[in-house]
Structure 1
Amino acid sequence: MSFRSVMEPIFARLPAVARPDKQVLFKNKIMWTLAILALYFILSNIPLFGMSAESIDLFAHYRAFFAGATGSLIVLGIGPIVTASIILQLLVGGDIIHLDLSDPRDQSYFQGAQKFLVFIMIILETLPQLFGYIQPDAGLAAALGVDTWVITLFLFIQICIGGVLIMYMDEVVSKWGIGSGISLFIVAGVSQSIVTGLVNWLPGTDGFAIGLIPKWVQLISSGELGSLFSSFDGILYLLVNAGILSLISTVIIFVVVVYVESVRIEIPLSHTSVRGARGKFPVKLIYASVLPMILVRALQANIQLIGVLLAGRGITFLGEYSGSTPVNGIMYYLSAINSPSDWIPSLVQSNYASMGFDAPALWQIGLHVGVDAFLLVAGGIIFALFWIETTGMGAKQTAKKIYNSGMQVPGFRNNIASIEKYMQRYIPKVTIIGGAFIGLLTLFASLLGTVGSAGGTGLLLTVSIVYRLYEDLASEQLMEMHPMLRSFLGKED
């Protein structure tokens, strides 16, 4: 008896959100999407009952694109979903698990395996955080007359419930709403960070407001702006702490992503039965979207999780940590660059001094930036290639969709093999170029920082997701007016 024959019935029995029996009306899709978005914000503001104030967020630096909220019911965010996707994409892409994702049965098995793996990852990502990081409230335990392990168990149950809710909320949006829940949650979390970074009037460590707008209002009204321009440290403060670099980075990323999303190669198509009926198949420069960047950063986050857990047990051969921040060793080089404070020497020295560690040498900082650049570019290419194959966007799957829609490439034989051969000229090459480009763009945003400390990856994802959501909205409206377009766009339910 094979492993697949044993697991397939288990995957089939996993609870799932039912698919709609007929096409969901556009207004109903909007309502489902908004309802899930509202539920996400409600859950992100429900604190974990019994959590101590001394708890540490292991994924603080990756919070923006994990779409979770520190100390809330959805502290895991989309982490388990993304991690499960990474594992399966590597196994399928490396041909360790033999699946033909153009085959409906194999596709169903892949989706079942992914959901099963998400349940496992929810548990595996929850347990390490409860061993010294998300701590139980000893005062609450004493007040209730129970041992702290009872509070820890209750925390475990809450976090697991939150992880399962996020998984099924994503499934609801994918089947009944517009786009995907993962994309929706990322946009919600990053947008909240950006708005907070612009208008937060609470005072920071420098005495001025944290938000960009109130901080500049205070700087101008206090008369200190002129004195800051008169020294190097003052100019550095304005660039980094006062948010000039992050504002420039945010604007540039927004403009570049919107422009690049419109850059495409248009492959001419003609109808096999209707003379004169022609169309075009667009292959965007960012063909695989920017979602593979989530996979790259999630891989780094899981590597850092291993380092944190080992360091917490006194095993520091991979590197030491201050909270969830690696300060030396191989884990330092494998960590993500998040802001100018991670690579500008004077800021790095200041941060290390506050943590009580010796700052890395200049060459070590340079190597750190170089390693992160390599991981983003190489990882962007690899995961982009895996992404298009596992989501039905590869040359073979695309050729099949074009053929089934009754279209063909002019001048080529009307069969799937000929269309696939033509698509192979463009799709893999554009995917590689797009993956490398999006990796470099992520590095640029990470080096300069972003408004609200949303992170370069988070901002990049948000702008691209919002742009594609706009395209999805237009596509849904068009298909509602012209239902025959659904077969060509691969939207049959």
Structure 2
Amino acid sequence: MIEKLAELYRYFPTIPSPKYALSLKEKILWSVAILVVYFLMMHTVVIGVKHTNTQMDLLSIIVASRAGTLLTLGIGPIIIASLLLQLLIGGGVVNFKLDSPEKRKIFAEAQVVVAVILALIQAYLYAYGAIGPTATGPYVSEAFYGNPITMHLVALQIVLGAIFVIYLDQISTKYGLTSGISLFIAAGVSYAVVSGALYILFNEDVGIISQFLKGVGIEALQTALVQIIPLITTAIAIYVITWIQSMKVSIPLTIMGQDRKIELPFFYLTTIPVIFASIFLLMLYQLGLSLLQIPGEDLLAQIARFIGAILYVLGPLPANHYNIPSYLNTVFSGTVPVLGIPEWLHLIIHIIVLGITSMIFGVLWAETMGQDGKSLAKQLRQYPQVQVQGYRRDPRILEKKIVEYVDPLIKLSSLVIGLLAGIGDALAVLGTGTGILLTISIYERMLPQIREAIKIYAPQLAGLLGEKV
């Protein structure tokens, strides 16, 4: 199946690799140009859709999207395509091993094909819901209201935008500082943090500074001061995540007769498990919302709404994290549809489920991509000078020792990263807990290149930061 999908890729245009090793300056210029295009797409409303100022929710931050624009789907099709293929392979439905560069290339090509198919489906689903076949939906612009071609026109633009993002990702991977997926997520989260901070400070109704400038009463000032909570929780989240990310797990080995240690980062699989877990739960959550809307009092309708309520509880809390008084009111006074349980319990359930789901996806990803203990031990067995400290060289002992360290690390780190993301979301962290996790991980991978760029192009700033020029 994977090979057949990859065969279709030959009909797609491809991005050639650079003919020479790009300099750091060239990579920076390419990345900046790609980001400029990304933000232009984010603010370009598709023809036929009414312009609305929507705040970035969890899904839009994770998939670097913005509804109603050329970035309506963002990197969603790419991530969901990877998620689907990983589940098929990890679940044994498709027999395919990613154990060689050639196999990984085939997988990447199949992923692009599936992403384009998903983009087509998602675009029409969005256009059907927002525009409708008769173009009388809630988001149709006045000039196109009632025009039967509007739905198809909107879907076409969204598909083209999604395909363009797929190729921007490939260009960034080959010519930029990092992959387009990482670049877009980091840019989207950073944008959400900055816009959220500006909202909290300057919003006319609840902004801290706006309230002080108005000279309003003590009650309004108290409400405004509550608004500072996201700024505090965001700072704490960045500190805690950075600290945990610096942790290492050491595996004691003997290499060429000398005692050495292989150090693995605590977030061994980076943020991949929580990306898949978040999107998976959001998909269930959106399905739950759809089931909750089913009318009627017959048994099937009631069962559908009950299932919808359960799926709803698995997802994040639907509240405005920028308006803290409103958010706190929802948490402590709201109840879950049908089930009737309080929303604060919904919040706790979501955090736990996100952690467990992240752990499951972490294990699946490690086994599928050859990053589990057995796969790592298999790689180390190729070097005869590597053995476990205090033991004679024996491949079985080496594998047992590596598995003892790596497999629990995969489960624990994936669980922790899921819990951190859920807690961050619950504490109204700007850019969401998941988004901050992703962005810190991305920036950390780019840090060596950023430092090098500062040394070359801003030596005075490098000196202030304590870097040796």
TM-score by length of 2: 0.80
Contact 2:3–2:106 (CA under 8 A) maintained in structure 1: no
Is residue 113 of structure 1 aligned with residue 122 of structure 2? no
Distance 1:101 1:300, change over 3 A: same
Q: What amino acid sits opposite 2:118 in the alignment?
A: M
Distance 1:118 1:150 in 2: 25
SS of the residue aligned with 1:149?
A: coil
Q: Which has the higher contact order (CA 8 A, sep 6+)?
A: 1
Contact 1:399–1:423 (CA under 8 A) maintained in structure 2: yes
Distance 1:264 1:170 in 2: 30
SS of the residue aligned with 2:437?
A: helix
In structure 1, the residue matched to 2:28 is 30
In structure 2, the residue matched to 1:64 is 61
Contact 1:296–1:383 (CA under 8 A) maintained in structure 2: yes
Distance 1:364 1:350 in 2: 7
In structure 1, the residue matched to 2:93 is 96
In the alignment, which of 350, 353, 368 is matched to residue 372 of structure 1? 350
- Where in structure 1 are there 5+ consecutive unaligned residues? 210-214, 321-325, 478-493
Distance 2:8 2:194 in 1: 44
Query: 1:171: how far off?
Result: 1.9
Mapping for residues 6-405 of structure 1, pairs under 5 Å: 6-20=4-18, 23-53=21-51, 60-134=57-131, 136=135, 137=140, 139-141=142-144, 148-200=147-199, 204=203, 207-208=204-205, 215-224=207-216, 226-227=218-219, 234=222, 237-238=223-224, 242-268=226-252, 272=256, 280-309=261-290, 314=295, 317=302, 329-337=309-317, 346-348=329-331, 361=340, 363-399=341-377, 402=380
In structure 2, the residue matched to 1:487 is none
Distance 1:476 1:400 in 2: 38
Per-residue CA deviations over 1:381-430 (Å, capped at 9, x if unaligned) read 11122233444533344445556688734646778766544321211111
Contact 1:380–1:438 (CA under 8 A) maintained in structure 2: yes
Superposed CA RMSD in Å reads 3.9
- Number of residues of Structure 1 aligned to a counterpart in Structure 2: 440
In structure 2, the residue matched to 1:491 is none
Distance 2:325 2:409 in 1: 32
Distance 2:370 2:14 in 1: 21
Distance 2:148 2:186 in 1: 36
Distance 1:121 1:224, change over 3 A: same
Query: 1:267: how far off?
Result: 3.2
Contact 1:343–1:366 (CA under 8 A) maintained in structure 2: no
Identity %: 25
In structure 1, the residue matched to 2:446 is 469
Distance 1:335 1:462 in 2: 22
Distance 1:55 1:225, change over 3 A: closer
Contact 2:123–2:155 (CA under 8 A) maintained in structure 1: yes
Contact 1:268–1:409 (CA under 8 A) maintained in structure 2: no
Distance 1:170 1:331, change over 3 A: same
Q: What amino acid sits opposite 1:253 in the alignment?
A: A
Distance 1:308 1:128 in 2: 15
Distance 2:378 2:350 in 1: 38
Distance 1:25 1:257 in 2: 31
Contact 2:24–2:449 (CA under 8 A) maintained in structure 1: no
Distance 1:447 1:170, change over 3 A: same
Query: 1:53: how far off?
Result: 4.8
SS of the residue aligned with 1:197?
A: helix
Contact 2:41–2:69 (CA under 8 A) maintained in structure 1: yes
Is residue 408 of structure 1 aligned with residue 405 of structure 2? no
Query: 1:305: how far off?
Result: 3.5
Task: Name which of structure 1's ranges 175-184 and 285-294 shifts more when overlaid on structure 2.
Answer: 175-184
Query: 1:208: how far off?
Result: 3.0
Contact 1:442–1:460 (CA under 8 A) maintained in structure 2: yes
Q: What amino acid sits opposite 1:388 in the alignment?
A: A
- Where in structure 2 are there 5+ consecutive unaligned residues? 455-469
Q: What amino acid sits opposite 2:164 in the alignment?
A: L
Contact 1:381–1:432 (CA under 8 A) maintained in structure 2: yes
Distance 1:39 1:6 in 2: 33
Query: 1:177: how far off?
Result: 2.4
Query: 1:337: how far off?
Result: 2.8
Distance 1:121 1:132 in 2: 16
In structure 2, the residue matched to 1:323 is none
Contact 2:202–2:208 (CA under 8 A) maintained in structure 1: no
Query: 1:446: how far off?
Result: 1.3
SS of the residue aligned with 2:404?
A: coil
Distance 2:182 2:358 in 1: 18
Query: 1:114: how far off?
Result: 1.6
Query: 1:108: how far off?
Result: 2.9
In structure 1, the residue matched to 2:458 is none
Query: 1:102: how far off?
Result: 1.5
Query: 1:303: how far off?
Result: 2.0
